[in-house]
Amino acid sequence: MTSLVFLDLSSHFRLKELPEEVSSLVLLQFLNLSHTRIRRLPLGLKELKSLIHLDLDHTYKLQELDVIASLFNLKVLRLFQNCGMIDLRLIEEVESIQDKIGESISLFYLSTMPRRDKASAIYRLLNRKRFVLLFDDLPKKVNLEEIGVPLPSKRNGCKVVFTTRSRKPCGSNWVDAEVEVTCLSSEEACDLFLKTLEETTLKSHQDIPKLTRVVARKCRGLPLALSVISKIKACKKMVREWHHAIYVLVSSAAESSVIEDEILPILKLSYDSLPGESIRLCFLYCALFPKHYKISKEDLVEFWIGEGIIKAEDREIAEIKGYGMIGELVRMGLLMENENGYGVKMHDVVSEVALWIASDFGRQKEYFVMISGDRIQEMPEVNDWRMVRRMSVRSTQIESISDSPQCTQLTTLFLKRNENLKWISGDFFQCMTSLVLLDMSHNIKLEELPEEVSSLVSLQFLNLSWTRIKRLPLGLKELKSLIHLDLDYISNLQGIDVIASLLNLQVLRLFRSVPRDLSLMEDIQLLKNLKELSLSMGEDAVLQRLLSIHTLASCIRRVCLIGTTITNGGILSLKAMSSLRELNIGTCNIPEITTNWRSTIQKETVHFRNIENIPHFSNIRTVSIVSCKGLQDLTWLLFAPSLGDLSLIHCPQIEGIISREKAMAQLGHTSEQPFQNLTRLSLRDLPELESIYWTPLPFPVLEYLQIKRCPKLRKLPFNSESSKGNQLQIELEEESVEWEDEATKQHFSNFKNRESLDRFYPLYDLASIQNIVVVGTKGTGKSATANCIAGKTVFNPLAHTSDGSTRCHNRFSVSRVINVIDTPGLFDLLASPEFISNEILRCLTLAEGGIHAVLLVFSAGKQISEEEEHIVSTLHLLFGSIIFDYLIVVFTGGDKLENDQVILEEFLRVSCPDFLKRVLEMCGNRMILFDNKTKDEGKKRQQIHSLQSLVEQERRKVLRLKGLSEEEVAMIEKELDEPYFHKLKGKPEQWENFMGLNLFADAKESENDEELRLRRKELQKSYDHIPMMEKNLRLSKESKQE
């Protein structure tokens, strides 16, 4: 088998070893050993010099991996569930390191947890597997135990490897060996340099080979310098160009003799070689982003245009120029492209070069001011604000800004992703008369802007997306230079009348903000320079008015239709929106979507005379349709060749994605192959869907496929060639799939059928996971409310103690990142103290990281019971008075009030008992009315949106049990490996705090001796129950191990 190139031995569960004779497979390039019981890799594997792909996923028995180090040409190495490969670029803060590790090992919600809990969560996961942890460019010692990483040892087979430019980290107590990586020798540097040059360049002049060796030696053996300089000179064929390169490199030799700094002047040659001042400014601009930060190409181009670095009369031409410059910077090695192709990042050394040049070669370090990190709570201190040109303050814990810096030369300000920022003084903007770009996006608690923004007379670019701004200040009218205004994803936005005064606006974005009315259309029509528009709409009249204004419709980039019922024959025509890139439809009644053909839902076929005139929507990238009534197919997608993301959820009438009959009628043939650029396809809850396409399609770039709860969809448009070579993630109900043939089934069995990823692609964008505990008595609609939040029926309202279902249990929501925790029986007056103590601990464990909100459920049609008063008393005892900062009162029975034509406020005024009035007063009147019986998806979504607003309204640190330290809670959440009850032994007063029964923890004890005696007796029963609980825990753990 000396000619064998591809060998797949996966899923042979009894395969325990490979023979040494694999060394004879000298041409082998692909080897798959996943899901086998291979114990070691044969030494003969070292001889496979052509091997580029080695798959060792789920090889649980594999012990020795030393052979891999000899496979120098290996490009793909898979070790999932064997070694958790974590590639970590170190960030200073321990918590940031933990968050990065969490992303790599699928602990996606780690960033919401306190540091000590993060360490525990990381340890629990990594302690069960072998892993390799890679630290790149480690600047100082790291305490692995503080992070939560188990110490590597021969016994656990784990490895920690790091690179560093300092010897300090090498002194860590877990370091076993050091390997010094020296610079390349002169010959090695020349060989590496010559490999990257074109042969035509070397042959273009007899002196060039000699000159290239001189240039290579001047790079001092630094691989990064060799790589970047070689890309610049790869096609230079003039001898004088090579002499100039030598001159620059020789000149830089005297500037620094320190190894950390000497690469900076060498790499300046790459900056000098950039073709033009504009691209040089674009390169320096990238220094504003943190090291290794993934920069969106789209954002980067917008910043360059917004600042005026890229200029063109036509905005589309400017965008093309911007993407061209990114490509040039990537080609020259100054930027690195992300795997998905949508973003770029800078090598840390290249970033240092950009900063060094931007700060006048280190002489004016205050030109660029950048701070970020969870530990920063105040604005930076700057010696001379007048020197600052560009500033970035992101991802800090700053809550307010009252500074009044005299930064008259500041042109760029990134003040974004500061999750606690609520208020900014007007004095802060007073002296920023030169500011051109202001990005304040993702400050999720910022509710207002000061009127003093009127001082920003030079401002051209303003981004307020993902904030909670309620109205635009009137001072915004004075910003006559403003050309870009981004108000996407601002759910509270109301007053935007000032838009009509911003006559120079070219870009206006209102996507996923509050749907606008007809008056806005008239205001937008005054913006004669508008080139790009994104917005949300609800009423069909607003949509039709927009489509009738050709100049506006033609510049729409993104549109979101919410609760829209199309009245014009039931047809939504996209003909006028020729620049459309993203279409979102939610809770609408739209029987048909078309491009320009005129059809009705009664006709089965539509005939065209001029097929070639049907427009191709070459710009559209994303289509998301949720809860759309009447829609039967999406045949118009045949004319969207660039479609990359298609999501279709809960559309009860849809029967096919592409209709064969309509395709034939519209094109005159059925040979069109759609979805050539589709990377993500999600189909969920489509009861009538029978077909995606009638023949197999190649899906050449598909990365993610999800098909859930589509009972009639049996045949998928795939064969053994579909998505070949892709790293495809799939979610399929495989028992219902009929594959094209056995080869297709085998082909798709190689892809991982991942656990549900719904929550990683939320339909409703939430900042992070939230633990919401739902409490209430039987019959109030508590479980139905929990089901409504979860998005499906997962909590049983008819549960009884006999089947154990009265225990606290949780579910993640289908489309939201919310952990819903139901608490049946927890506050039952008849429940024993031992049951309650178990359930309290269970509830706390389910709410890993702490509780964000407690929903207290009452029925609007029932009288308040003694048990419901007991709930409030117990909650107050467990958590103290702070519980009321997290309490939200939910009234069920919204349908009954609606039928009686009674609003909630009127109901409370007439029927609210004094007890409930006190509760509402103490929780700041945070309440919401739920109709759990409604079938209206729009109403359901509005209920969840209102609840989300209340949860975010007073969101602080997570809620924890009163009387327990953070360390003790961490022990409970560590699956009680060291039972918390040991700590309570000998501390009956703390157990009393934990399980007390009086109404208010801060009130005096009862003066009634008999009542006090009974209370002490109940507490003693709980305390005496500790040994039994310990025994049960131990037996449970032993049974799990078996």
73 assigned to some structural domain? yes
CATH of residue 520: 3.80.10.10
CA geometry: angle 661, 662, 663, nearest 5 deg: 90
Please report, as a single letter, which amino acid is at residue 466: W
User: Is the model's pLDDT at 274 over the cut of 50?
Assistant: yes
958 assigned to some structural domain? no
The rounded percent of the chain whose pLDDT value lies above 90 is 24
What's the pLDDT band for 87 if we cut at 50, 70, 90? very low
Interatomic CA distance for residues 252 and 901, integer angstroms: 82
* Residues 975 and 996 reside in one and the same domain: yes
User: Is the model's pLDDT at 136 over the cut of 90?
Assistant: no
865 assigned to some structural domain? yes
338 assigned to some structural domain? no
Give the residue among 509, 435, 517, 516 at the shortest CA–CA distance from 466: 509
Interatomic CA distance for residues 16 and 39, integer angstroms: 6
Q: What is the pLDDT of residues 770-813, one digit of tens each?
A: 678 888 877 778 778 877 877 666 565 554 433 334 555 555 44
* Residues 740 and 809 reside in one and the same domain: no
Cα distances from 682 to residues 568, 761, 763, 790, in angstroms, run: 29, 10, 12, 19
* pLDDT of res. 909: 72
Q: What is the pLDDT of residues 476-492, one digit of tens each?
A: 999 999 999 999 999 88
Average pLDDT, the chain: 75
Final residue of a domain: which of 480, 511, 537?
Answer: 537
User: Is the model's pLDDT at 406 over the cut of 70?
Assistant: yes
**Contact 857/892 with Cβ under 8 angstroms?**
yes
| Domains contained in the chain, number | 7
458 assigned to some structural domain? yes
User: Is the model's pLDDT at 299 over the cut of 80?
Assistant: yes
**Contact 99/111 with Cβ under 8 angstroms?**
yes
* pLDDT of res. 794: 59
Please report, as a single letter, which amino acid is at residue 483: I
Between 223-233 and 259-272, two packed helices, what is the crossing angle to 10 degrees? 10
Interatomic CA distance for residues 702 and 696, integer angstroms: 14
User: Is the model's pLDDT at 384 over the cut of 70?
Assistant: yes
User: Is the model's pLDDT at 726 over the cut of 90?
Assistant: no
Please report, as a single letter, which amino acid is at residue 496: I
* Residues 575 and 710 reside in one and the same domain: yes
Give the residue among 787, 721, 789 at the shortest CA–CA distance from 943: 789
Q: What is the pLDDT of residues 520-537, one digit of tens each?
A: 888 899 999 999 999 999
* Residues 294 and 391 reside in one and the same domain: no
349 assigned to some structural domain? no
Token reading at 887: 């309490």
* pLDDT of res. 452: 93
User: Is the model's pLDDT at 1022 over the cut of 60?
Assistant: no
CA 841 to chain centre: 31
Cα distances from 926 to residues 451, 782, 836, 897, in angstroms, run: 30, 17, 27, 19
* pLDDT of res. 835: 52
Q: What is the pLDDT averaged over residues 1005-1020?
A: 48
* Residues 717 and 827 reside in one and the same domain: no
Across 79-93, 422-436, 884-898, which has the greatest mean pLDDT?
422-436
Q: What is the pLDDT of residues 324-382, one digit of tens each?
A: 999 989 888 889 888 767 899 888 778 888 888 888 877 888 888 888 877 788 998 88
DSSP strand E in 447-603: where? Answer: 461-463, 484-486, 507-510, 532-537, 556-562, 571-573, 582-589, 592-594
Final residue of a domain: which of 61, 78, 95?
Answer: 78
Residue position matching structure tokens 């080869």: 743
Longest dimension (CA), the chain: 108
Please report, as a single letter, which amino acid is at residue 791: G
Interatomic CA distance for residues 385 and 638, integer angstroms: 56
* pLDDT of res. 615: 47
346 assigned to some structural domain? no
CATH of residue 775: 3.40.50.300
**How many residues does this entry show for the chain?**
1042
* pLDDT of res. 559: 94
* pLDDT of res. 895: 75
What's the pLDDT band for 220 if we cut at 50, 70, 90? low
* Residues 799 and 923 reside in one and the same domain: yes
User: Is the model's pLDDT at 767 over the cut of 50?
Assistant: no
Classified as helix, coil or strand, 123 is helix
Across 109-118, 655-664, 955-964, which has the greatest mean pLDDT?
655-664
* pLDDT of res. 194: 72
Would you tell me how many other CB atoms lie within 10 Å of the CB of residue 499?
20
* Residues 944 and 1010 reside in one and the same domain: no
Q: DSSP secondary-structure letter at 360?
A: T
Cα distances from 754 to residues 169, 613, 705, 751, 757, in angstroms, run: 38, 43, 10, 9, 7
Token reading at 380: 């930076």
Final residue of a domain: which of 715, 739, 761?
Answer: 761
Q: What is the pLDDT of residues 585-598, one digit of tens each?
A: 988 899 998 876 44
* Residues 682 and 802 reside in one and the same domain: no
* Residues 376 and 449 reside in one and the same domain: yes
Interatomic CA distance for residues 283 and 305, integer angstroms: 14
Residues 6+ apart with CB under 8 A from 840: 826, 878, 961, 994
State the residue range of the domain holding 114.
Answer: 83-171
* Residues 472 and 591 reside in one and the same domain: no
Give the residue among 548, 543, 556 at the shortest CA–CA distance from 515: 543
* pLDDT of res. 346: 87
* Residues 793 and 942 reside in one and the same domain: yes
342 assigned to some structural domain? no
* pLDDT of res. 505: 95
* pLDDT of res. 51: 85
* Residues 423 and 453 reside in one and the same domain: yes
